[in-house]
Amino acid sequence: MSTLRVKAISSLHAEFSVPGDKSISHRAAIFGGLSNGVCEISNFLSSEDCLNTLKAMHSLGARYEVIEELENHGPITLRIHGQSMKLCAPVAAIDCGNSGTGMRLLAGLLAGQDFTSELFGDASLSSRPMGRITAPLAEMGANIETLGDKPGCAPLKIHASKLQPITYEMPVASAQVKSAVLIAGLFAEGTTSVIQPTTTRDHTERMLAAFRVSTRIEGNKISLPGGQMPESCDFAVPGDISSAAFWLVAAAAMDGSRLLIKDVGLNPTRTAILKVLGRMGARIIEIIHNSEGEPIGNIEIQGAPLTGTTLLAEEIPNLIDEIPVIAVAAALAKGDTHIRNARELRVKETDRITTTVENLRKMGADVEEFEDGMTIHGGKPLKGADIESHGDHRIAMAFAIAGLFAKGDTVIHGTDCINTSYPGFAHHLDAIRHERTKPEDFILPTITR
Q: Which residues bind ligand S3P (CB under 6 A)?
A: 23, 101, 174-176, 179, 200-201, 320-321, 344
CB of 213 to ligand S3P, least distance (A): 17
Task: Say how far apart CA 236 and CA 280 lie, in whole Å.
Answer: 33
Query: Which residue has the closest beta carbon to ligand S3P?
Result: 23
- Looking at residue 21, the DSSP 8-state letter turns out to be P
- Looking at residue 413, the DSSP 8-state letter turns out to be E
Strands, E, within 280-415: which ranges?
A: 283-290, 296-302, 335-339, 366-370, 373-378, 386-388, 410-413
CB of 257 to ligand S3P, least distance (A): 27
Judged by CB, which is closer to ligand S3P: 243, or 257? 243
CB of 91 to ligand S3P, least distance (A): 27
Among candidate residues 321, 372, 409, 430, the one labeled active-site is 321
Task: Say how far apart CA 377 and CA 375 lie, in whole Å.
Answer: 6
Among 194, 270, 244, CA closest to 20: 244
Q: In what order do the strands lie in the sheet with 64-69?
A: 64-69, 76-81, 38-44, 235-236
CA distance readout (Å), 260 to 281, 380, 391:
17, 28, 29
- Looking at residue 188, the DSSP 8-state letter turns out to be B
Catalytic annotation present for 430: no
Judged by CB, which is closer to ligand S3P: 23, or 350? 23
CB of 198 to ligand S3P, least distance (A): 11
Is residue 41 within a helix (H) or strand (E), and if so which, with residue range? strand 38-44
CB of 386 to ligand S3P, least distance (A): 26
Among 82, 98, 99, 88, CA closest to 37: 82
Judged by CB, which is closer to ligand S3P: 255, or 344? 344
Active-site positions read: 321
